[in-house]
Structure 1
Amino acid sequence: MIRVSAGTGTGRTTLAAFDAALCSAGVGDFNLIRLSSVVPPGSTVVEVDGRDQLSGEHGDGLYCVYASAHASLPGHEAWAGVAWSRRDDGSGAGLFVEHEGPSHEQVAIDLLHSLEDLSATRGGVYRPDGEMITGLACEALPVCAVVVATFRRVGWEELGRAR
Structure 2
Amino acid sequence: MTSALTIRVSAGTGTGRTTLAAFDAALLAAGVGDFNLVRLSSVVPPGSRVEAVTGRDQIVGEHGDALYCVYAEAHASLPGHEAWAGVAWSQHEDGSGAGLFVEHEGPSHEQVATDLTHSLEDLSASRGGVFRPAGRSITGITCDTLPVSAVVVASFSRSGWQETSGAR
Question: Which residue does the alignment assign to 2:3?
Answer: none
Runs of 4 or more, structure 1, over 4 Å off, are none
Once residues 65 and 42 of structure 1 are traced to their aligned partners in structure 2, the CA distance between those partners, rounded to angstroms, is 18
* 1:82 pairs with 2:87: yes
Question: Which residue does the alignment assign to 2:129?
Answer: 124
Q: After superposition, give the CA deviation of every residue in 1:52-72 in whole Å (9 maximum; x if it has no partner).
A: 000010000000000000000
> Matched residue of 2:48: which SS?
coil
> C-alpha root-mean-square deviation of aligned residues, in Å?
0.9
* 1:63 pairs with 2:68: yes
Once residues 159 and 84 of structure 1 are traced to their aligned partners in structure 2, the CA distance between those partners, rounded to angstroms, is 28
Structure 2 length-normalised TM? 0.95
Structure 1 length-normalised TM? 0.98
Amino acid at match of 1:107: V
Question: Which residue does the alignment assign to 1:96?
Answer: 101
* 1:159 pairs with 2:164: yes
> Matched residue of 1:23: which SS?
helix
Amino acid at match of 1:4: V
Q: After superposition, give the CA deviation of every residue in 1:51-104 in whole Å (9 maximum; x if it has no partner).
A: 000001000000000000000000000000000001101111000000000000
Question: Which residue does the alignment assign to 1:42?
Answer: 47
Q: Which runs of 5+ in 1 are unaligned?
A: none
> Matched residue of 2:156: which SS?
strand
> Matched residue of 2:118: which SS?
helix
Offset at residue 160 of structure 1 (A): 2.1
Amino acid at match of 2:80: G
> Matched residue of 2:88: which SS?
strand
Offset at residue 36 of structure 1 (A): 0.3
Offset at residue 158 of structure 1 (A): 1.4
Offset at residue 157 of structure 1 (A): 1.4
Once residues 156 and 141 of structure 1 are traced to their aligned partners in structure 2, the CA distance between those partners, rounded to angstroms, is 35
> Matched residue of 1:44: which SS?
strand
Question: Which residue does the alignment assign to 1:108?
Answer: 113
> Matched residue of 1:58: which SS?
coil
Query: Paired residue for 1:52, among 53, 57, 61?
Result: 57
Query: Paired residue for 1:150, among 155, 165, 168?
Result: 155
